[in-house]
Amino acid sequence: MEKASFILTKSNNNYLIDFSLDQIENLVNLKEFFRINRKYIININSMKLNIYIFYIFIGLKI
């Protein structure tokens, strides 16, 4: 089975791309994107709310 990479947009559209995650990681602005594990690169701005909720949930102050 061949590996495939996809881009998922905020509007929930999937696009097949012809790049590995290693190649994508070298192309994107690392101030805006972060590789969270070997399978996903995410936009940092898309996770701020979730981090805030996580900190509230575990009782830490930001």
Output phi, psi for 7, to 5 deg: -105, 130
Mean residue pLDDT across the chain: 78
Q: Quick one: CA dihedral 6, 27, 23, 32, positive or negative?
A: negative
pTM: 0.63
Return the higher-pLDDT residue of 46 and 20.
20
| Mean pLDDT calculated for residue range 4-12 | 87
pLDDT digits (tens, 9 = 90+) for 11-35: 889 999 999 999 999 999 988 988 9
Give 2-62 as a DSSP string. Answer: ---EEEE-TT--EEEES--HHHHHHHS-TTTEEE-SSS-EEEGGGSHHHHHHHHHHTT---
